Structure 1
Amino acid sequence: MLTLTQLKSKSATRLKGLHPAVRVAAQTLTEHCCQRGIPILITQGLRTVAEQNALYAQGRTVKGAIVTNARGGYSYHNYGLAVDFALLLQDGRTVSWDTGSDGNGDEIADWQEVVREAKALGFEWGGDWTSFRDYPHLQIAFGLSLAQLRGGAEPSAASVEALYQKINKEGEKQDMKTEHTAVVQVNGVKIADGMLNKGITYVPVRSLAEALGAQVRYIAATRTVEVTSSQLRGNGDE
């Protein structure tokens, strides 16, 4: 699985041009989903009016399936206030829009877990729309209509500050939930209880090493943990 830094790097170019607070919300969403064991990729961010019109033409005047009902200027993407996401599979390259998959095995669809985290951070979800359900779509409108945005309106300082406070509050909640135990198994046999913290699993080195047939020795003088495995030793006879 990719690290959080790698995950954020893969989405970085698509966050350019977003409203700064929306960009922070999207980055925080990536972090929170990673902590849940659900890697996501931001697939769309700011979209120009010309790009929006090209998407609108798809399935209408050009070949392809209809992917949007919004012409240029009629999408929150055009104002840097929306992102689209997809699930990132274990190979770190393939994306999925399977809304029913449960990659982290907690008996809740990963897609719904992402949506839940997004809503907590202030995003609206396109899957809640009635006329055209846009399941990958997330937006933060700051109380502004598209007509107001087309007229040149911008998010107020108060609404932006309120979003930052919501993000910080959710971050504090997440920090309280990051540390919890996880069962660590080797070949299907439990060897220890590990500790999950921000997407990293910590496990007692002796339990893991001995389960893999290695020996562990602690050298107090140098404060070194030495793991010795016959599989890792060089063989001078070959």
Structure 2
Amino acid sequence: MPYQIKLQNFEGPFDLLFHLIEKAEVDIYDIPIAEITNQYLEYINKMRSIDLDVASEFILMAATLIQIKSKMLLPKEKNPLDGTNEDADPRAELIEKLIEYKKFKEVSGLFKESEEKSMDIFYKNAEIIDDIEEDEILLNVSLNDLITAFNDIIERYKSGINEDVHLEEQLIREEFTVYDKILHIKQRLNNKNEISFSQLFISNTTKFEIVITFLALLELMRTREISIYQTKSYGEIIIRRNFS
């Protein structure tokens, strides 16, 4: 008997994410981001395996989760006065949106229940204002391919450099931000329309810089300023600019 996958329908990315958090029975204020991200990507892959279209907003949510997961890999800066961590929790904005979604869902449920008692009503799902398709962001490449390529870059760095040597001094000297790297990527794409994924990291000297570059890439992907594609299976991942 062939293996069949049964998938629940979700109204949007927050609906799916909220379902995974409830299923895991975890505190919404302390989301195990790595576990939830893996489950989210697994669900999207299952949708693809049975030839279901994956809407662009689900892809963008997945990119956001990967971005948060990557940020949590970065070393936290210590306050020199009291030794506490100064960095904000990368999950904070997502948690805030999830709490708002939970409130909206609860209120919507009450209104819907009340209306259904009084009359028969046909409900329409919210329209997606942004009509850019998923295929304009990821072409012949999956999010898993992107993660695998990123992990390969990290492993290549680890095998070539001893991270323990002068790491603290390296981090202190690095003053660039995600925004800086976004500008750097755009500048490189202005010179030529496309660049390979591996070339993007070739000048990176530390794990910190690699992660920051990857976060910048995800942000450009989220804002649809770039597309990611492969010319063939297991081939080099190419970054193409969408901005003028």
TM-score interval, normalised by the smaller of the two chains: under 0.3
TM-score by length of 1: 0.27
Q: Greater Rg, structure 1 or structure 2?
A: 1
Structure with the higher helix share, 1 or 2: 2
Q: Specify which structure has the bigger relative contact order, considering alpha-carbon pairs within 8 angstroms and separated by 6 or more residues.
A: 2
TM-score by length of 2: 0.26
